[in-house]
Amino acid sequence: MGLNLEELKTRVKDVSLSHKLIKSFDFGENFDVATNNRISTYPKVFLELPYLINYENSRRFKTIRFAIMVFNTAKFDHNTESHEVISTMETTAEAIISKLETSFTDFKFDSVDLTSIRDFSDDNLAGVRVEVVVRTQRTFCNPPSYEDQFDC
């Protein structure tokens, strides 16, 4: 059976929050600390929407592309500390991805790309943005698997 988006979000959240360093998790279309009314606790993992889903030609599999940001606070305009925080968040992200990869067998990672983050916002953040592509089976790929979903 394939992995749905709610299951994916729950797994990323559960694994992220089980990491000894991560203090909070959130998700949404964008992370905006300047206008966000929620109180953020760092280090944090943020699951960025939207998801991009591709149904492969074989009809049996799909890929899901998504991104997470793993970040912490850093002193304003302090390059040395920012680089240290980025390095720590990169290894934290690597551990989270590795834990996801070894904990579940119903999807496989096709690719993982990291970009460093340095945001001079109200919270002065540093870390990484991790773009991930996972491959999983489709749930409804051939009749009769989807026939009970319709009245006709």
pLDDT tens, 106-141? 899 999 999 998 875 667 889 999 999 999 988 766
CATH number at residue 67: 3.30.70.1700
Residue range 66-118, pLDDT digits in tens:
999 999 988 766 677 888 999 999 999 999 999 999 999 889 999 999 999 88
The total number of structural domains that make up the chain = 1
Q: Which of 18-27, 50-59, 134-143 has the lowest mean pLDDT?
A: 134-143
Strand partners, 55: 62
In what order do the strands lie in the sheet containing 125-137? 24-28, 44-55, 61-73, 125-137, 107-119
Confidence check: pLDDT of 150 > 90: no
Confidence check: pLDDT of 6 > 90: yes
**79-103 and 5-18 helices cross at what angle (nearest 10)?**
120
The band of 1, judged by pLDDT with boundaries at 50, 70 and 90, is low
Confidence check: pLDDT of 20 > 70: yes
> Higher model confidence: residue 121 or residue 50?
50
Region label for 59, one of left (φ > 0), alpha (ψ between -120 and 50) or beta (otherwise): left
For residue 117, the enclosing domain spans 5-149
Confidence check: pLDDT of 34 > 50: no
pTM of the model as a whole: 0.85
